[in-house]
Each structure stands twice: as structure tokens, then as C-alpha cells.
Structure 1
Amino acid sequence: MSRHPLATPTPTPDSTPAPEDAALARRTLGVPALVFLIIAASAPLTVLAGGATTSFAVTGELGVPVGYLLLGLVLVFFAIGYGRMSSLIQNAGAFYAYVAAGLGIRAGIGTSFLALVTYNAMQIGLYGVFGFTASSVLGELTGLEAPWWLCALMGWLIVGALGVTKVDLNAKVLAVIVALEFVIVIAVSTLSFSVAPEGISTEAFLPEHWLTSSFGALLAFGIAAFMGFESGAIYAEEVKDPRRSVATATYIAVGIIAAFYAFSAWAFSLGVGTSQMVEQSQQWGPDLMFVFLGQHVPAMASSMAALLFLTSILAAMIAFHNAAARYFFSMGRARILPSALGLTGPRNGAPVAGSLTQSSLGLIFILIFTVAGAGSDLGALYPVLTMFPWLTNAAGFGMVILLCVTSVAIMRRLGEDPDQHPLLIRRVAPLVAAVGFGVIALLIMANFDTMIEADSFSALVIVIPGTIVAAGVAGLIWASHLQRRRPEIYEHARQANIG
């Protein structure tokens, strides 16, 4: 049976927020703004300086650029069906809505819990690397010494303040930051080609440098670069033309992310030297790019790059905060979580309640890791060796599961109207994506000890991914509880997804 588009559910009169308090700002974002919001979550400068160098170091392989291309290819197949779904369904809880439409409301609720944990884990984990980086940059530029947690709290204030403002202001701030990031990454790539000590080589693309035992780890690290992929659909209720803008922005963003990251990682390896890239990455880690710049450009330019690296992390934090806030909003509006979470600002349409909830969680975790790290032997590195990798790797695993489940849901939903959707869109593309993400999820599990750099067996190898799986299971249990104890809520959510 054909389903009607899933727009904002009609509130039931007894306990949902009033309509004027439960609607996001409408017709606010165009395609360019949406592209910037998607790419901001992927943080171009952070990927090159942090993600790519870490991948080179941990995998010990030159084929990092190939990983970005392969992941981009799988995401293109996903985007084909995803784009079609975005024209049928507009909901701030995109994965939740798509899975509910394709696999049923119980699976949708389970997915919503998984997505909430995934986006919150990524956003909160970034406070660790932001606090450390901000403390380091502040010390280099001014000579002042500030603890990581104080710098993290400053970032927390900025993100929280923007989270309760109108979304187009967020888009404008992120557009400026992302544009500057691209300038720096392009400058680093250009410099790399000009100084390449071993000449221009395509050796990194040869199979012996990526089709190895480290292939799983290479893909596992690379997937983090695409974490902002869902952002387009999350903002579907706030774009000017949701039936076209989301799909268009998603295609553009995926193409840019995959090609740009592969090219810049390859160029950077040439600048450092093909034979030296792995060794140098293992020695310097995320500082390698700034060491490289310090050897070839004036100190002021290197300092500016470091400052933009900090704003790159901030941009990603803002993007993931917005995603988590909109998931809280969507679930509150559907009354699957407390209806108060569905409240929005009366003047700006921002998901205020969801934003404040996400900010509260961020503050709690900053305080927890501050107390836990006091007196640690890791010293200043404590947040980047614990808070950052533990939470963001959990988020990367969660995102792969979300993409896999959503691919299956898309295949089921579009398959109900075979006359309306070509075979490629309704069956082939989602199936390829589902299989691809399923394989990547298994590879992540097999390489999780490498991802958290555990020298021997660690309970974290089970606890961290187990927490992600447990979130989805908790959602399924909660759905069953609602069906038994609060059937009116369960039925309301179910009807909202079948029209």
C-alpha cells in the first residue's frame, strides 16, 4: 500500500506541545547552505590534519586516499535511494522516519535511539580534541596556559549559544569556517605538489598499498570523514524545496567529500614524501601537517593554519550538536520521548529543548572526564587518548549500522511502489549499499582494538561497540513498552509513518 509523505505529525491534543511550539523554521535553507552544513560535520581540515594522518599511522599503509574513494562509492549507491526517500518523507529524525516507513515503527524507534547515541557520542567526543587543541593553540599564540577542560567549556558555550538560534545563522557561521578550511587544505595540497621531495607518484593507489590485512582499519578510520552524511535529510523540514534540495545537496556533498579528501590525502603524502609518510605520521600524528607547514611557510601562516584547525573542530561540533538536537526534537514531537523535547523557539523555530538537552549531556561528560583525568599519567594528552577516540569511534560504528539498516528500509519502502521507482533506485542501489555497510561494520568490529590503539585485549573492544548495539536494543524494548503500556502513543507514531 502506498504511503503518504511523512511531514510533521499532527499533535494529539492531550499532551503534545502546541503547534506553534512544535515546528521548526520553514523555508530557511537553500542548497548551498545545506551543502555547507553537511560538509561542516565532516570537517575538511580536521580530516586531513587528524583523520588522514592517524589512518596512515595506524594502518601503516599508503592507500588511505583509496579508502575515501571506496567509501564515497558505497555512499553514492546509498544516496540514490536516500535522495528519493527525501522527496517522499521530510522529518528532522531522518533515519528514524525512513526506517519506520520501511521496516515499521518498532524498528524506527530502535533506530532513533541508536541515532541519538551515535550523534551525541560524536559531538561530545569532539570536546576532548577541541579542549586539547584550544589549550595548545592558546599557549603557542599567547603563552597562556589553560587546562583542556576550561577550553572545552568555552567551546561548549559557543556551540550551546548557536544551538538555540535560527538555523540560517548556524549555516552562515559554518559557511565561513568551511570556506576557510578549504582554502587551507587547497594551499597545503598545492604546497605539497610544489615541494614533493620524491616527485609526483600514484604509488598510493596501487593494490599492494590498500588491499592488505589493514584494509578494515583503513575503511573504519575513513568512515568518520563522512559522518555528516545525514545532515541534508535532518534539515528537510527547514529547506526551501525539500523534494529536491536534500537530494541535490547530498549528491554534491558526497562527491566533494570523497574526491577532495582522497586528493588532499594523496597530495599531502607526496609533500611529506611517499616513503616517509607512514613513519612521519607515526612520529607526529595530527601535528604532522603543522610540522610540514613550519618547514616551508612563515611561522605566522603555520599559526593561522593551527587556529583554523581549531575552528574546523568547532564547526563539526556545531553540526553534530544540531543533528542531535533535531533528533531529540523529532522524538519529543512524536511523544516517543518526553513531549517537552518537541518545543521550539517561538520566534526562530530552533529546537530549543533538544539543543539544551544535548548541551546538558555535553557538560556532564566534560565534567566526568575532567574528574577522571585529574592526576592521570597521560597528562595533557588525557582527553585525546580517552574521551575523543572512545566516543568518536563508537559513533563511527553506530553510523555504519544506521546506514546499513536504513538501506534495507529504503529498499522495502520504495519496493512497495515499483511503478513509481526504477529498479536501480528501489532495489539495486540500496542493496549494494546495505551489503557494503554490512561488510564495513564487520571490518570495524574485527579492527576495533587497532582503532583504539590497544596493545593487548581491552574490555573497551567489547564495551564501546556493545554500547552502540545496546542503544538500538533499548529502543526496541521501549517500543514494545509503548505498545503495551501507552498504545495511544505507539499508534500515533505508527499512523504518522503510514499516512
Structure 2
Amino acid sequence: MTERTIPAQGRRLTGRLGTAGIVFMVIAAAAPLTVIGGNMPLAMGIGNGAGAPVGFLIAALVLLLFSIGFVTMTPYVPEAGAFFSYVTVGLGQRMGKGVAVVALITYTAIQVGIYGYIGWAMANTVGFYHGPEIPWPIYSFAVLLIVALLGYRHIELSAKVLGVALVLEIGIVVLLDLAIVSSPGPAGLTLAPFQPDVFTHGALGIAVLFALTGFIGFEATAVFRDEARDPERTIPRATYAAVLIIGAFYALTCWAFVVALGPDQVAAVAQRTLAGDGNMLLDTTEASLGRLGRDVVNVLLLTSLFACVLSFHNVIARYQFVLAGKGLLPDRLATVHPRHHSPAFSSLVQTVTAAVILGVLVILGIDPLVGVFGSMAGVATVGMVLLMLATSVAVLTYFARHREQAGGRIWQTRIAPALACLGLLASMWLVLTNFTLVTGGSATLSTVLAAVPFVGLLLGALAWRPARSISETVQR
């Protein structure tokens, strides 16, 4: 069955996702177990050790401030597209096109990173249970094919798959946290992570970097606008809920691991994990919940990674769909499948793109965890901070030009977005000044990787053809 092509201004995806469904999609992209098993050891091992929970709190505060302006502007951007749409309305088409390129780079980078992580995790799991030695890329490409199949179909199928996986992984982590708190490690229920001399020791910027990476995808609430039941209420609720749930969950769990291992030992344990000598998440789980608990978490870690990569696949496919509808990508990407009502062709293109990039990294012999996941997460974090910074500036600019729509809401339209800009600038400085620790490579390699999102912004602003006007869809 062929896809249908309809006029650019009439292309719409459909669905009846409620607040809970969208929050599931977004938190699945945040992938709680993935962050705990991957980002947390990185934040502790090469960051600030026992002070890592503060990195998650800083990230949550900055993103909460960002969300205030983001959702306040939502009624005036009545189309899917997230950062691209907001920046285009606030700062014009040229900047909007640049942001569109940065968004594609950001989401593609983190998705490829997760493919590397899940390949490593599956190979590690099979090896732990004395299974056959199969190279990690085989697992990665197998997952890619399954994601391609689900991404081709209607979004509600993906939402159901993600919802089940998410409930299970959150449930086991809450159980693990409770077990740790009820039987703490050698230092007891310590609050040391929140002491200034602890969280400022080491590289706080690294902790903030990997904390921010853990939130990537939360703004996708706006990408699912056309598939939401009542976007005017659903999108703001889902955005705030996602930030608060993700932030609290990460910070509390990170603190629980400090309690379990002790402030003096947690960094060393994390470093051994990064070196391949142990597994911080699974070893701690076994100590608290026994071998059965370890086995359950091991399985749910894999489902978490799968849910994460599926969610990012859906986000990228819809971003391409929206950009094609605006004439910024080939029109074929804006076709809707007649039976599945999904951006099927865009989904297929995204599958091919991820496969090619992953294939290149495999050929180059890049390590799947630190090399693929760590470096790609770094690129994605720089891109995400840049996207949010541009969006916050767009919010300030838009309401400065449309004072009647601001309606005296000074906190939502001026103060919060301005504070978000300051917080994002500080976060960017912390990330960039510590970027060599993330890549583990030379200063030259680190500079090149960190520059990728900025180069994408420049090329997008200068090289792309004019977008189709969105003035008909934006309240002036």
C-alpha cells in the first residue's frame, strides 16, 4: 500500500494521546535505567563523584525555568515541530532553519549513542550468563530493525510498548531505592552529596553535562502536538510533569547509590565500571536485592534502552516530517501512511541514517560505551543546550513584540525565560570547559565534536532554502 501525499499546509498526523501517554513517551526517551546505568557512572567516575546528585538538581532547575516560557508560548505556536517552530515564530525563519539542523544533529547523535550502549549491554548480558560471544554491533543492528518496524506503524503502538517498559523499570528502581535506604551502606543515610565541599570537588560540569543528557527528549511533548487529544492543556501538563518526575527520580536514585556505596567509594566504583571491571548498577542491585533482583534489572535495563531508542526514533521521524512540510526537506518525507497514519517514509529514512552512522563507527572500531555513547551524548548535550538557549531567547523576543499576548504575565514571559538563558549559558560553559573529559580524546577531537552543533546552526541558517510561511498558523 502506498503512502498518500497531500498539500503541504494540510499535512497532519492524528492521534488521541493524553497527558499520561505523552509523558510516557517523553520519560521513555529519558530512559531512567539507561541514565542510571550509563550517565550516572560517567557523572560520578569522570565528574564530581559523590556530588553527582547535585548535577541532576541543577539540570532539573534550569529545565524547569526553561519550561515556563516554553509552555507559555505554546498556544501561539499551534503546530508540531518543537524548537524549530518556536524559534521560527520568535526569531524568524533563518534562525529557525539553523535550529532545525541542530535538532536533527542532536537527536541523531543521542540515538546512535544509545544504539552503541544497547549493543554493549546485550553482549555484556549474554557473556555474564555464559552465552555465545557475539560482537556488540550484531545486537545493535538487530535492535535497529525492530525499532524500524515499530516506528513505521501508528504512534499509539509505540506508546503502549513504551508504557509497559517504563512502568516496569520505574517500579524496580523505586524498589531498589527503598531497599538501599532501609539498609544503607557504611556511611548511613548521608547527605554529603549536597555539601558544597563535596559537589564542587572534581568536575561539576561533567555531572551537569550527563544530567542534561538524561533529560534529552523532554521537550518532545510539543513534537506530539498533532497526535495529542487536547494539545492546549495536554502539552503544558506533560512538559511540567516530565521535568519534575525525571529530575526527582534521577536525583533521588543517584543519592541512593551514594548511600549504598559510601561517599568515599562511589567514584572508584564508577571508574571501575567505565573500565569494564564490574557494573555499578547491577552489582549494587545484587547487593541490595539479591541475584534475582540483578537478573530483573538486567532485563529491564535492556528494555529501557530499547524504549529510549524507539522514542528518539519517533521524535526524529516527526521532526523530519514537520520540516518537509515546511519545504526544508524533500516533500516525500511529509507523506502519511494511509493505514498506519504515521510518517512512514520519514521513519524509514531515519532508520537508514542511523544505520549508516552506526556502521561507520563500527568500521572505525570505536568503543561502544565510552566512545560511541559517551562522545555522542556529549555532542547531543551541547546541541540540546544550544537549542534551549535559542528557544528561550525566542520566547523573550516574541512576547516583547507581542505585549498584548503577554497579558501582564511578567514571570512567565520575561523573568523565567531570562533566568533560563542565564542558567543555560552557565551550563554551556560548564559543558564546554570539561568536554575533553567526556571524549577521553585529544583537545582537537573534543573541539571538533563540540563544534558540530554550532556548525550545524550556521549551515542551516545560511544554506537552506526559505521555508513555507507559517504565518497562517500563528496568532499574531
CA separation of 1:105 and 1:356: change in aligned 2, threshold 3 A: same
Shift of 1:194: 2.3
Q: Which of 276, 287, 292 does residue 279 from structure 2 map onto?
A: 287
Q: Which residue of 2 aligns with 1:176?
A: 164
Contact (CA 8 Å) 1:100, 1:497: kept in 2 or not?
Answer: no
Q: Which of 225, 237, 240 does residue 229 from structure 2 map onto?
A: 240
Q: Which residue of 1 aligns with 2:340?
A: 348
Cα distance in 2 between the residues matched to 1:347 and 1:22: 18
Greater shift after overlay, 290-299 or 363-372? 290-299
Q: Which residue of 2 aligns with 1:98?
A: 86
Shift of 1:142: 6.1
Q: Does residue 463 of structure 2 align to residue 478 of structure 1?
A: yes
Shift of 1:90: 3.1
Superposed, which structure 2 residues align to 1:137-148 within 5 Å?
Answer: 137-141=125-129, 143-148=131-136
Shift of 1:370: 2.3
- Counterpart amino acid of 1:86? T
Shift of 1:240: 0.5
Q: Which residue of 2 aligns with 1:459?
A: 444
Superposed, which structure 2 residues align to 1:120-199 within 5 Å?
Answer: 120-141=108-129, 143-197=131-185, 198-199=187-188
Cα distance in 2 between the residues matched to 1:290 and 1:122: 23
Cα distance in 2 between the residues matched to 1:342 and 1:25: 10
Q: Does residue 442 of structure 2 align to residue 442 of structure 1?
A: no
CA separation of 1:243 and 1:498: change in aligned 2, threshold 3 A: closer
Shift of 1:275: 2.1
CA separation of 1:43 and 1:237: change in aligned 2, threshold 3 A: same
Cα distance in 2 between the residues matched to 1:243 and 1:494: 19
Greater shift after overlay, 327-336 or 289-298? 289-298
Q: Does residue 416 of structure 2 align to residue 429 of structure 1?
A: yes
Q: Which residue of 2 aligns with 1:6?
A: none
CA deviations 1:423-465 (Å, max 9, x no partner) are: 11111111111111112112211110011233xx332111111
Q: Which of 369, 379, 387 does residue 384 from structure 1 map onto?
A: 369
- Counterpart amino acid of 1:336? L
Cα distance in 2 between the residues matched to 1:213 and 1:293: 26
Contact (CA 8 Å) 2:78, 2:474: kept in 1 or not?
Answer: no
- Counterpart amino acid of 1:409? A
Q: Which of 323, 338, 352 does residue 331 from structure 1 map onto?
A: 323
Q: Does residue 63 of structure 2 align to residue 83 of structure 1?
A: no
Cα distance in 2 between the residues matched to 1:65 and 1:296: 20
Q: Which runs of 5+ in 2 are unaligned?
A: none
Contact (CA 8 Å) 1:27, 1:241: kept in 2 or not?
Answer: no
Cα distance in 2 between the residues matched to 1:355 and 1:217: 33
Contact (CA 8 Å) 1:21, 1:343: kept in 2 or not?
Answer: no
- Counterpart amino acid of 1:348? H
Contact (CA 8 Å) 1:89, 1:97: kept in 2 or not?
Answer: yes
Q: Which residue of 1 aligns with 2:42?
A: 54
- Counterpart amino acid of 2:410? L
Greater shift after overlay, 67-76 or 402-411? 67-76
CA deviations 1:244-287 (Å, max 9, x no partner) are: 10000111111111111111110111011222111211122481
Shift of 1:21: 11
Cα distance in 2 between the residues matched to 1:298 and 1:465: 41
Q: Which of 304, 307, 327 does residue 312 from structure 1 map onto?
A: 304
Contact (CA 8 Å) 1:88, 1:243: kept in 2 or not?
Answer: no
Cα distance in 2 between the residues matched to 1:138 and 1:424: 52
Contact (CA 8 Å) 1:101, 1:498: kept in 2 or not?
Answer: no
CA separation of 1:419 and 1:34: change in aligned 2, threshold 3 A: same
Cα distance in 1 between the residues matched to 2:405 and 2:474: 19
CA separation of 1:491 and 1:56: change in aligned 2, threshold 3 A: closer
Task: Give SS of 1:62's match.
Answer: helix
CA deviations 1:328-364 (Å, max 9, x no partner) are: 1011111111111111211222111211111001111
Q: Which residue of 2 aligns with 1:8?
A: none
Equivalent residues, number: 467
Greater shift after overlay, 265-274 or 293-302? 293-302
Cα distance in 2 between the residues matched to 1:359 and 1:395: 18
Q: Which residue of 2 aligns with 1:207?
A: 196
Cα distance in 2 between the residues matched to 1:320 and 1:327: 10
Task: Give SS of 1:134's match.
Answer: helix
Q: Which residue of 1 aligns with 2:469?
A: 492
Q: Which residue of 2 aligns with 1:298?
A: 290
CA separation of 1:146 and 1:347: change in aligned 2, threshold 3 A: same
CA separation of 1:463 and 1:396: change in aligned 2, threshold 3 A: same
Task: Give SS of 2:403's match.
Answer: coil
Task: Give SS of 1:29's match.
Answer: coil
Q: What is the TM-score with the length of structure 2 in the denominator? A: 0.94
Q: Which residue of 2 aligns with 1:218?
A: 207
Contact (CA 8 Å) 1:174, 1:315: kept in 2 or not?
Answer: yes
Task: Give SS of 1:59's match.
Answer: helix
Shift of 1:494: 6.5
- Counterpart amino acid of 1:254? V
Task: Give SS of 2:218's match.
Answer: coil
Cα distance in 2 between the residues matched to 1:462 and 1:41: 27
Cα distance in 1 between the residues matched to 2:244 and 2:286: 31
Q: Which runs of 5+ in 1 are unaligned?
A: 1-15, 484-489
Cα distance in 2 between the residues matched to 1:277 and 1:111: 38
Shift of 1:369: 2.1
Q: Which residue of 2 aligns with 1:109?
A: 97
- Counterpart amino acid of 1:273? G
Q: Does residue 247 of structure 2 align to residue 258 of structure 1?
A: yes
Shift of 1:402: 0.2
Q: Which residue of 2 aligns with 1:10?
A: none
Contact (CA 8 Å) 2:189, 2:259: kept in 1 or not?
Answer: yes
- Counterpart amino acid of 1:343? T
CA deviations 1:157-216 (Å, max 9, x no partner) are: 111111111111111111111111111211221121122122111111111112345222
Contact (CA 8 Å) 2:68, 2:416: kept in 1 or not?
Answer: yes
- Counterpart amino acid of 1:442? W
Contact (CA 8 Å) 1:24, 1:350: kept in 2 or not?
Answer: no
Identical-residue share of aligned pairs (%): 31
Q: Which residue of 2 aligns with 1:12?
A: none
